[in-house]
């Protein structure tokens, strides 16, 4: 009973556990994969704006899979990222749909314009 209440307030405990596992996987990567995976993850945290824990855990888990495979195969970092690491990260993020923090503001803006328009017609 208490766990359900705590999860209601803090979010899924399972997602938190999976996130910690993801972070441990990234920490275990050899250089330069660790540094690049950490940098990409940081960028995704700001850029993607995902607020849905399940989507976020999936995205970061897939990112860890990618870098673990690259490290195992000794694939050069640039072979993964290409010439533009920002483009890579943004394209990667687009594969993961979920609620984003901006969705609330988009709805709020649309509603404000709709209400203003109704006021003009009166």
Calculate the alpha carbon distances from 113 to 49, 101, 107, 122 in Å: 24, 20, 10, 15
Cα-Cα-Cα-Cα dihedral sign, residues 87, 88, 91, 92: negative
Average pLDDT, the chain: 85
- Alpha-helical regions (H) of 1-122: 2-10, 13-27, 33-47, 53-73, 77-81, 85-94, 101-121
| CATH fold for domain 2-121 | c-terminal domain of poly(a) binding protein (1.10.1900)
Could you tell me which residues come within 8 angstroms of residue 61 by beta carbon, excluding any fewer than 6 positions away?
A: 18, 22
More confident site: 11 or 75: 75
- Which pLDDT belongs to residue 28? 97
- Residue 83 token pair: 């010439």
Residue 85 and residue 62: Cα distance in Å, rounded?
A: 17
Domain coordinates in residue numbering, the chain? 2-121
Closest CA to 19 of 60, 52, 64: 60
Whether this model's pTM surpasses 0.85: no
Exposure string (b/e) for 34-53, b if CB count within 10 Å is 16 or more?
eebbeebbebbeeebebebb
- pLDDT tens digits along 12-59: 678 788 889 999 999 999 999 999 999 999 999 888 777 677 888 899
């Amino acid at each position: 009973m208490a766990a359900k209440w705590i999860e209601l307030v803090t979010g899924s405990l399972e997602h938190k556990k999976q996130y910690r596992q993801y972070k441990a996987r990234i920490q275990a990567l050899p250089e330069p994969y660790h540094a690049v995976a950490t940098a990409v993850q940081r960028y995704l945290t700001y850029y993607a704006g995902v607020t849905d824990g399940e989507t976020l855990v999936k995205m970061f888990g897939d990112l860890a899979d990618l870098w673990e495979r690259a490290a195992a195969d000794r694939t050069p970092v640039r072979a993964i990222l290409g010439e533009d690491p920002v483009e890579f990260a943004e394209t990667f993020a687009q594969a993961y749909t979920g609620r984003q923090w901006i969705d609330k503001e988009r709805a709020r803006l649309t509603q404000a314009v709709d209400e203003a328009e109704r006021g003009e017609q009166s």
